[in-house]
């Protein structure tokens, strides 16, 4: 392992950073698009059905195929990888946002409206805070998926830890494969852990903190 680090240490750091960069970019894009879209869809139930099934269909395209399909449109490199991973991140976030918003107690929404909140106030002060745990679990799920799938992005020249794995496969070098896999796993676990902490922060309290 020390020899591996001596040989590939600096490369490992660069590849890990690429991995983080690609995944984070895709996830953030996914959040920016899917959360507002999910909220919007709760106001248009009929459209929601179609949008949900379309994004469900996109999810079923094999990941390698989707990456390959990006090449004619975006060429090779990081951009097509980010776009493909972004598409993958959409569904869990979109669906959880939609379900989370739908599951907010109708009584509370009625009370919010009856007390004189505008639709926006009701969304931001009541519905989003109440559905935060479900929205966040969608984001966490997406993040773990995207981090592990972004190893495949190496296939279309996006770089990342996938480079180690593919090189290892080509050169019959197990230490390269393991050296690429372990950091990906650690990254995924770490991201999930950090998002867990973040989730606790953004989930509104419903009880005083224990003293």
Partner 1 sequence: MQSAKEIISFQNVAKNYRGGNDAVEDINITINEGEFVCLIGTSGSGKTTTMRMINRMIEPSRGKIIFKGKNLKTFDPVRLRRTIGYVIQNNGLMPHMTIKDNITLVPKLLKWQQDKMDRKAKELIKLADLPESYLDRYPAELSGGQQQRIGVVRALAADQDIILMDEPFGALDPITRDDLQDLVKNLQEELGKTIIFVTHDMDEALKLATHIVIMDSGHVIQDDTPDNILQHPGNDFVKELLGEERLLQAQQNTLSVSDIMSKNPAKITLGQSLAEAIREMSYRHVDTLLVTDDNNKLKGFIDLETINDRYSKYSNVSDIYKPNRFKVKTTSYLRDTSERILKQGYKYVPVIDNDNNLIGIVTRASLVNIIYDAIWGKEELDNPENIKLPDTIAKESDNA
Establish if 126 lies at the interface with partner 1 (CB under 8 A).
Answer: yes
Residue in 2, 6, 46, 205 binding partner 1, rule: CB under 8 A: 205
DSSP the chain: -HHHHHHHHHHHHHHHHHHHHHHHHHHHHHHHHHHHHHHHHTT-HHHHHHHHHHHHHHHHS-HHHHHHHHHHHH-SSHHHHHHHHHHHHHHHHHHHHHHHHHTS-HHHHHHHHHTT--HHHIIIIIIHHHHHHHHHHHHHHHHHHHHHHTTGGGGGT--STHHHHHHHHHHT-HHHHHHHHHHHHHHHHHHHHHHHHHHHHHSPPSSPPP-
Residue 201 is a binding residue for partner 1 (CB under 8 A): no
Which span sits near partner 1 by CB under 8 A: 13-21, 47-55, 62-70, 124-132?
124-132
Q: Can you tell me which of 5, 13, 32, 108 binds partner 1, judged by CB under 8 A?
A: 108
When asked if residue 114 is in the footprint of partner 1 (CB under 8 A), the reply is yes
**Binding flags for partner 1, 59-88, as an x/- string (CB under 8 A):** ------------------------------
Pick one of 1, 3, 116, 201: the residue that binds partner 1 (CB under 8 A).
116
Residues that bind partner 1 (CB under 8 A): 107-108, 110-118, 121, 125-126, 129-130, 204-208
């Amino acid at each position: 392992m020390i020899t591996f680090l001596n040989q590939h240490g600096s490369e490992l750091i660069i590849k890990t950073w690429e991995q983080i960069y690609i995944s984070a970019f895709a996830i953030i894009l996914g959040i920016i698009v899917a959360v507002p879209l999910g909220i919007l869809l709760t106001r248009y139930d009929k459209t929601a059905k179609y949008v949900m099934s379309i994004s469900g269909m996109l999810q079923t395209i094999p990941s390698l195929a989707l990456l390959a399909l990006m090449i004619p449109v975006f060429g090779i490199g990081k951009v097509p990888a980010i776009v493909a991973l972004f598409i993958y991140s959409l569904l869990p976030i979109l669906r959880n946002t939609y379900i989370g918003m739908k599951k907010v107690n109708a009584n509370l929404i009625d009370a919010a409206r009856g007390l004189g909140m505008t639709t926006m106030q009701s969304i931001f002060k009541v519905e989003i805070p109440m559905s935060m745990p479900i929205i966040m679990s969608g984001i966490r799920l997406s993040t773990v998926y995207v981090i592990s799938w972004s190893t495949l992005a190496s296939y279309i020249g996006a770089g990342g830890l996938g480079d180690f794995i593919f090189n290892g496969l080509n050169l019959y070098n197990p230490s390269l494969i393991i050296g690429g896999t372990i950091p990906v796993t650690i990254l995924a676990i770490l991201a999930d852990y950090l998002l867990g902490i973040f989730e606790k922060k953004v989930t509104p309290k419903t009880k005083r903190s224990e003293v």
